[in-house]
Structure 1
Amino acid sequence: MSSSEKKPPVKGPASYFPSIEKTYGRPIAEWKALIRSQSGLKHMELVAWLKQTHGLGHGHANALVAHTFAEDK
């Protein structure tokens, strides 16, 4: 990609990923594996679990769950 070409900005839940990795020190793939390991939980149950168990903020937890669910559809 030349310097005159720019990638479009990342939108939606994935826009949080760089901050999540920097803040919590785990790659996104690891967070998604943790989410998938909690089968049977609903979206907001997973958000609450990530917040309580792993100390994620609400926005970060919500973005991870939303993106993981979208991939798994």
Structure 2
Amino acid sequence: MADEPIKGPASYFPSIEKKYGKPIADWQELIRKHLPAKHMELVTMLKNDHGMGHGHANALVAHTLAAEKS
């Protein structure tokens, strides 16, 4: 249903875009360029290289990796 609130990692996306000034697609492309790195390696890269908070980095990586598996 369209009126249901967004749940899971994607619920962070509006605040990620607002705080870091890039669309989610740009972040996902960056993550994909670093594959086959492991989940926590990707989270650390986003935190260290782009100043992203742990929760935002983790949500982006989790969502992107889940999409890669499907």
Q: TM-score range by the shorter chain?
A: over 0.9
Question: Residues 1-73 of structure 1 correspond to what in structure 2 (within 5 A)?
Answer: 7-73=3-69
Percent of counterpart pairs with the same letter? 68
What TM-score comes out, normalization by structure 1 length? 0.91
User: What's the CA shift for 1:45?
Assistant: 0.5
After the TM superposition, list the runs of 4 or more consecutive aligned residues in structure 1 that deviate by more than 3 angstroms: none
Structure 1 unmatched ranges of 5 or more: 1-5
User: What's the CA shift for 1:44?
Assistant: 0.3
| Residues 47-68 of structure 1: per-residue CA shift (max 9 Å, x gap) | 0000000000000000000000
What TM-score comes out, normalization by structure 2 length? 0.94
- Which structure: greater helix fraction? 2
Cα distance in 1 for residues equivalent to 2:17 and 2:30: 14
- How many corresponding residue pairs? 69
Structure 2 unmatched ranges of 5 or more: none
Cα distance in 2 for residues equivalent to 1:49 and 1:19: 19
User: What's the CA shift for 1:28?
Assistant: 0.2
